[in-house]
Amino acid sequence: MDIILITAIIAALFVVIGAAEPLADRLRLPFSVILAAIGILIGGGAIFFLRTPLTDALNPVAEAILGLPIRSNVFLYVLLPTLLFQATLGMNLRRMLDDWAPILVLAVVAVVAANLTVGYALFAAGAGPLAACLLIGAIVSTTDPSAVVGIFRSISAPRRLARIIEGESLLNDAAAIALFGLFMSLVMMGVPDPSLGDALGEFPMLILGGAAAGWLAARIAVAVMGAFGRHELAQMSVCVALPYLAYIGAEQLAGASGVIAVVVAGLTLNLAAPGRLSPAAWANQREVWDLLAHWAGALIFILAALLVPRTLEELRWSDAALLGVVIAAAIAARAAILYALLPLLSALRLSPPVERPYRTAILWGGLRGAVTLALALAVTESAYVPPEVKRLVSVLATGFALFTLVVQGSTLRWVISRLGLDRLSPLDQALARQVVAVSLQEVRETVAETTDTYDFNREIVRAEAKRFGDRLDGAVTAADEADAISDRDRITLGLVALAGAERDAILVRMRDRMISARLAERALSNADQLIEAARTGGRNGYRQAARRSIAYGRTYRAAMFLHNTLHLSRPMARMTAERMEMLLTQRMILRDLEGFTRGRIRRIHGRRVADLLQELLSRRAEEVATALEGLRLQHPGYGEEVERRLIRRTALRLEEREYQAMHEDGLIGAELHASLMQDIAGRRAAAERPPRLDLAMRRADLVRQFPLFEDLDEADRRRLTRVLRARYAREGETVARRSSGARAVYFIASGAVQLTLAGQSWRLGRGEMFGQLAILLRRAPRAEVRTIAPTIFLVLDEARFLRLLRRSATLRAAVEESAAKRGVAVEALEAGPGAPRALPGPGKSDPAPGAPAPQAGPVDAPPQEATPHAPASRNTAPEQATAGQDAPGEATAGRDAPEEATAGRDAPEEATAGRDAPEEATAGRDAPEAAPRP
């Protein structure tokens, strides 16, 4: 075919795509329905003009349309990867992980259920071999929820519901195409009745192989894009190539699912790329893919619909009955999932409750479209599929897709209207009237100032003022007549508005490049959680979501585990740096929101609600400040570096605005403006590099600052730095348990811990240690130690501690003082056989660690002054340290508490400080391991 004619036809199709969107909006029909209708009309019109004897003038055009090289490879290798990849880039992955249960159920379980239900229903109806029937079931099991998602957004349906449907769309496409490839291979090999177990047994290998290929391709692409730096067009070229290379590599090289490879590549890029690209570059990448996906989806519908008239020419009367079986089985399978399994998940609290009207809308909105038509076309082109199977697949898949598009698609908005989902709730109606009244009052004042400033004609001003006043009076009257909104509802609405304002502030900072795209995505996810929690749980839900936003998540705990056990510090260093920047950004945003509560919230909801919301903001700010102070204590100096970086980025943004304003006003020319922008780009690249957090260097600094190691020379200190193991612990983590087998000494470098023994509790802070007497007494620790603030420990094993004890006179004196204050004589430690381990001194040798030792009777006895069974109200400290109260040393945020607790606060009732601490307590605070009665 002539390339000029093909180019002209494709250009005409793009014009049709452009006209279809406003037409769909005007007719209030889904965009996909309009595209399919236009494609069918074009294909049917071409057949008509080619066969009619009325005229031959349009025969070349008709032949060109019908002769378009529409092949399944174009759909599978070009258009489908574009759609799937764009869907992954537009996802909020962090929020979808919260809803993993309903998404997986609707995507994977629903697809498998629909596949099996349709396949076995057709097989029971005598449609053909089981393999062919299951192949048809795989083709029709995928859904295109774009229509119902678009309508849900237009009627302000819950965001979580729309997000679940979008996640279902992406994963069920991948699952359905993977099942299609599995059953297609069985049909091509001529296996009429496959074993279901054998068939599904190959499914995991397809998934895992595709996932590995997609992850590897995405990681390579991210590394290359990051190396290209400020060359945005080069980054975009690599990003465009990624999904197609991942698809081809998985299909042709690994023999795995190319669709899964594309999905995993997109998800990996969504998580990794924001940290390597600038916010503007990442936003441009997503905009490009939005446009490519819009064209790809439209072309799939139109090109596939062109083939529908020719396919329906082979329709038989017996096919109508089989088509009815497919429709009934597919709807029944989806209804079973929505009305049986989804409520069960809600009852188990694995899924948000979905009201029955929304479930009905999801059921009726499960349209089949682009993917179904593309897969059916792939079957008809295969030379290894029997002709009768080709015809059956083509007719049933095309007929079912047309049914969903024409019948369900055209009536979907009517169904939603009948369900009452397109109407505002009484609460929203009352709020809308109040918002209109308040807004019109503000507009009247602004318009009055404007007319006075520009001296408009007084008669015109008077006439317009009267007209506007009538409208304002009507709005005020409607607001007064509306049902009163309770304070509880006002608080909920105010919290939703407050969280929405927080989300807008995050977007502004991301556009101004004040925060990275990765942090912006995380902050936006937290803001979405606040909105949904406020809608569903009111004030308590908002508080819980706010606390979760600053809590240590699963990934941070995993990074901490890698650092503490495998000594892999890079993930934890990166996440700690990001956490500190996130907390600083959140603190700034919370302060900016104070003006929002005093302004708009107060005008709409009144002073009382505004004051209450301001109090909630203040509490959030205190919690953020406490978490930030904990990080500062763990990493002194690093917070200042992060703040310095934020200030520099702010200054660069302000400088850029000044140059832009001067250029727009004509004060500087284009060449000078370009030179200034290039200079800013270079300085911004340097300012956007996060300061390095080197945990190994931090360990050396901590050893140097530790009081007990002051008398060591530099060589010994360096050797000690190499053998000490830094362990990071989050607030509330249990560091040591009773009767644990491992014995080591823990030096508290920052933070604070609480020791609990025999119902009594003590607190230790920076510069103190615990665990040393368990080693010297040669028995398992009996106290439980829990952190009450983010804490860094320097951990030394038993053998190295004993060697260090011989070298350091300061440490030896501290241990001797610890033993004396708990009633253990130094002579007892120095005794020979029949006594506990001798306290090693210079020139003495140690027994082998873990060697048996005789029991020490008198050592277990407490000093005579101690009161072992003091009341818990005086001796047991709270589980969590509050800012500026009981945590010793640097564990106290914002208040300087003494290193050692005073008697009556953190020690037993009648004991002096450092007298009754448990066995693991440090020098000056150690008491017996157990506290039996004298």
Question: Cα(145)–Cα(171) distance, rounded to whole angstroms?
Answer: 12
Structure tokens at 227: 């190396």
Instruction: Tell me if residue 787 falls in helix, strand or coil.
Output: strand
Q: Is the pLDDT of residue 270 over 90?
A: no
Most confident of 533-542, 734-743, 774-783, 823-832: 533-542
Mean confidence (pLDDT) of the chain: 75
The number of beta carbons lying within 10 Å of the beta carbon of residue 239 is: 25
Residue 570, SS3? Answer: helix
Between 130-144, 319-333, 600-614, 705-719, the lowest mean confidence (pLDDT) is in 705-719
Q: Which of 313, 387, 366 is nearest to 169 (CA)?
A: 366
pLDDT band (50, 70, 90) for residue 858: very low
DSSP structure string for 898-912: -SSPPTTTSS-TTPP
Categorize the per-residue pLDDT at 881 as very low, low, confident or very high, splitting at 50, 70 and 90: very low
Label residue 186 exposed, middle or buried (CB < 10 Å: 0-12, 13-18, 19+): buried
Instruction: Please determine, for residue 365, whether its predicted confidence score (pLDDT) is greater than 70.
Output: yes
pLDDT given for residue 1 in this prediction: 55
The predicted pLDDT at position 914 comes to 37
CA distances from 507 to 42, 510, 515, 825 (A): 44, 5, 10, 65
Angle made by CA atoms 454, 459, 464, in degrees to the nearest 5 = 80
- Cα distances from 42 to residues 5, 8, 54, 56, 600, in angstroms, run 16, 15, 18, 17, 53
Is 151:412 a contact under the CB 8 Å cutoff? yes
Q: How far apart are CA 866 and CA 915, in angstroms?
A: 7
Whose CA is closest to 632, among 645, 644, 641? Answer: 641
Give the tokens for residue 311. 């396919």
Can you name the CATH fold of 72-418? Na+/H+ antiporter like fold (1.20.1530)
User: In this predicted model, which residue has the larger pLDDT, 561 or 869?
Assistant: 561
Q: pLDDT category, 934, cuts 50, 70, 90?
A: very low
Dihedral sign from CA coordinates of 696, 700, 706, 712: positive
Query: Predicted confidence band at 215 (pLDDT cuts at 50, 70, 90)?
Result: very high
Most distant CA pair in the chain: distance in Å?
Answer: 121
The residue ranking higher by pLDDT, 438 or 145, is: 438
Position 631 pLDDT exceeds 50: yes
The rounded distance, in Å, linking the Cα atoms of 213 and 215 is 6
Distance CA 214, CA 261 (A): 4
| 761: β partners | 756
- Tokens for 723, please give them: 């053998």
- The confidence score (pLDDT) of residue 246 equals 92
- Cβ distance 392 to 136 under 8 Å? yes
Query: What's the average model confidence in pLDDT over 406-410?
Result: 83
Position 218 scores a pLDDT of 92
Share of the chain above pLDDT 90, in %: 6
Per-residue pLDDT at 927: 36
User: Into which CATH architecture does domain 721-891 fall?
Assistant: Sandwich (2.60)
Lowest mean pLDDT among 156-165, 610-619, 720-729: 156-165
Query: Does pLDDT of 698 surpass 80?
Result: no
What pLDDT, in 10s, does the model give residues 275-284?
677 777 888 8
Res. 867: pLDDT tops 70: no
Quick one: average pLDDT of 735-744? 72
Q: Which amino acid is at 709?
A: F
pLDDT class of 555 with cuts at 50, 70, 90? confident
Contact (CB, 8 A) for 194 and 248: no
| pLDDT per position as a tens digit, 755-764 | 887 777 878 8
Residue 118 CA to residue 18 CA, distance in Å, equals 36
Residue range 121-165, pLDDT digits in tens? 999 988 888 888 999 999 988 877 655 666 666 655 666 667 777
Residue that is written with structure tokens 């000078």 in the block: 672
CA dist., res. 527 & res. 512, Å (int)? 19
Q: How many CB atoms lie within 10 A of CB 424?
A: 12
- For residue 217, pLDDT beyond 90: yes
Would you say the C-alpha torsion 713, 716, 721, 724 has a positive or negative sign?
A: negative
- Highest mean pLDDT among 95-99, 231-235, 347-351, 811-815 belongs to 231-235
Assigned token pair, 182: 């599995």
> What predicted TM-score, i.e. pTM, was given to this entire model?
0.62
Position of tokens 């200054």? 651
When pLDDT is cut at 50, 70 and 90, the band that residue 325 belongs to is very high
CB environment 467-484: b (16+ within 10 A), e (fewer):
eeeeebeebbebbeebee
HEC string for 380-400: HHCCCCCHHHHHHHHHHHHHH
CA distance 402 to 56: 31
Confidence of residue 742 (pLDDT cuts 50, 70, 90): low
- Integer Cα distance of 909 and 931 in angstroms: 14
Q: Chain-centre distance of CA 308, in angstroms?
A: 41
Locate the domains of the chain by residue range.
3-66, 72-418, 426-481, 487-636, 639-690, 721-891
Answer whether 403's CB lies under 8 Å from 145's CB: no
First to last CA, the chain: 105
Token duo for residue 621: 């700010």
User: What tokens does 321 get?
Assistant: 């009955």
pLDDT score of 647 more than 70: yes
User: Quick check: 23 pLDDT over 80?
Assistant: yes
Instruction: Assess contact for 136 and 119: CB atoms under 8 A.
Output: yes
Kindly state the average pLDDT of the residues 859-874.
Answer: 34
Q: What SS3 class is residue 483?
A: coil
- Fill in the DSSP letter of residue 894: S
- What's the confidence (pLDDT) of residue 699? 67
Position 894 scores a pLDDT of: 35
